Homo-oligomer: A and B are copies of this chain.
Amino acid sequence: MNEDLPLASGSPTLEDVARVAGVSRATVSRVINGIRNVDPAIQETVRQAISTTGYVPNQAARSLVTRRTGAIALVVSGAGGESEEHPFPGQVFADPFFGRVAGGIVGFLRPRGIHPILMFAETPEARAQVITYLRQGNADGAVLVSTHAEDPLPRLLAGSGLPAVLFARPAKPIPISYVDVAHRAGAKLAADHLVARGCRRVATVSGPLDVPASQDRLAGFRDAMAAHGHPYIPCVEGNFTHDSGEAAMERLLAEHPDVDGVFVANDLMAQGALLVLRHHGRRVPDDIAVVGFDDSSAALACRPPLTTVRHPVEDMAAEMARLLLTHIEQPGHQVTSVIFEPTLVVRQSA
């Protein structure tokens, strides 16, 4: 090994390492990429050379030939029209839900040396930019978390032929892979629990009814309650925000003052509902039991702590990443959906 050859200025390249180790570029490349058929002694020499030179591979050069970037896009998308209202994108990120998704994705991808590029797609321009960005080969594929039913991005993605996976089933059938939770089963868990604890006059606060998740939670809840002999379940529609939960609960109380149990379609709304109940002097769970959905950080911030249906977001996000990787590695892989089972987390609100 030639210890003291002059290195070119700038950061060392394969060439430099090869010269120091007294071998060819190809050999250095082989040891770096862990390809066998390299003499152990030479391997050692090369490793030495790598550390004495302080060599790090140049990802651009590598990508140019392998056609892989080691990055994927993590797209948070809305339906559009939000551009004028906010000076900054990504307000939606205030929901702790997205942090959980990000955590799940990174947990799976990071050990594999892959990293997510964060993109918001709240306007038509932003959506077009996402597609262009992927086409330029800045990322090998995309995972998409969509907040609105009318979001056109899933279709754009499916049409582009780029590897992509959605969080949640699209509102209209689109040939694209996705992961989701069994919303109906989760709602049934809530219904069974409320009935089991003796609630007789049960109502629900749903999410926005144009999104499949909300529809399914509502339908699942009503079906389960019907099976328990409660054919009519009053419902007020919310939009998954804290404030809408308050408003919905307020209305429910006005229209059905005697409710003794309520299933709220997500924890953030349930938190708002709890505030309203307390304000009206209703004791939870004694006067009225409340079950949420998600088991987000909001559930623990509630008083009393919220009994809720656990949405395994991190596991789902990890699966989404895994699915994306198979689509990237096997371009012809068939469209797949993976459904997770929710569980009930019993705390004190019901």
Show the binding face of A for B, using Cβ within 8 Å: 11, 56-61, 63-64, 69-71, 74, 87-96, 98-100, 102-104, 106-107, 110, 115-120, 126, 129, 132-133, 135-138, 242-243, 271-272, 275, 278-279, 296-297, 300-301, 303, 314, 318
Query: Can you name 12 A-B pairs with beta carbons within 8 Å?
Result: A57-B136, A88-B104, A88-B106, A88-B318, A89-B103, A89-B107, A94-B100, A96-B96, A106-B118, A115-B119, A116-B117, A118-B118
Which of B95, B107, B118, B318 is the one whose CB lies under 8 Å from A115?
A: B118
Q: Is the CB of B102 within 8 A of A118?
A: yes
Question: Shortest CB–CB separation between residue A54 and chain B, in angstroms?
Answer: 9
Residues of B within 8 A of A91 (CB): 99, 103
Find out whether the CB atom of B117 lies under 8 angstroms from the CB atom of A71: yes
Cα–Cα, bound, A69→B71 (Å): 12
Q: Choose from B96, B98, B115, B135 the contact partner of A117 (Cβ within 8 Å).
A: B115
Q: What is the minimal beta-carbon distance from A268 to any residue of chain B, in angstroms?
A: 9
Tell me if A70 and B120 are in contact (CB < 8 A): no
Q: Are B103 and A314 in contact, CB atoms less than 8 angstroms apart?
A: no
Given contacts A88-B107, A115-B119, A129-B110, contact A94 B303 (CB under 8 A): no
CB distance from A27 to the nearest CB of B (A): 20
Closest residue of chain B to A138 (Cβ to Cβ) is B59
Of chain B, the residue at the smallest CB distance from A139 is: B115
Chain B's closest residue to A60 (CB) is B63
Determine the chain B residues whose CB is within 8 A of the CB of A60 once the complex forms.
Answer: 60-61, 63-64, 69, 137
* Cα–Cα distance between A306 and B197 once the two chains are bound (Å): 36
- B88 touching A93 by the CB < 8 A rule? no
Looking at chain A's contact residues, the main secondary structure is: helix
Q: How far is the CA of A52 from the CA of B81 in the complex (A)?
A: 31
How many angstroms from the CA of A242 to the CA of B59 in the assembled complex? 42
Q: Which residues of B contact A301 (CB under 8 A)?
A: 242, 271-272
Q: Which of B110, B136, B243 contacts A59 (CB 8 A)?
A: B136
Contacts of A126 in B (CB 8 A): 110
Q: How many angstroms between the C-alpha atoms of A98 and B297 in the bound complex?
A: 15
Please indicate the chain B residues that have their CB under 8 angstroms from the CB of A137 in the complex: 58-60
The 3 closest A-B pairs by CB, nearest first: A93-B99, A90-B103, A60-B63
| A89 CB contacts on chain B under 8 angstroms | 103, 106-107, 110
A28–B172 alpha-carbon span in the complex (Å): 41
Alpha-carbon separation in the docked complex, A107 to B70 (Å): 24
A136 contact set on B, CB distance < 8 A:
56-59
* Residues of the B chain whose Cβ atoms lie less than 8 Å from the Cβ of A63: 60, 63
* A71 to chain B: closest residue by CB: B117
Complex: how many Å from CA A11 to CA B132? 13
A9 to chain B, nearest CB (A): 13
B88 & A103 in contact (Cβ 8 Å cutoff): yes
Contact of A56 among B11, B71, B132 (CB under 8 A): B132
Rounded to whole angstroms, the CA-CA distance of A151 and B89 in the bound complex is: 29
- Give the distance in Å from the alpha carbon of A119 to the alpha carbon of B107 in the complex: 10
| Alpha-carbon gap, A11 to B90, bound state (A) | 32
Q: Is the CB of A106 within 8 A of B120?
A: yes
Most buried by B among A59, A243, A271: A59
**Looking at A70, A88, A107, A110, which has the most chain B CB atoms within 10 Å of its CB?**
A88
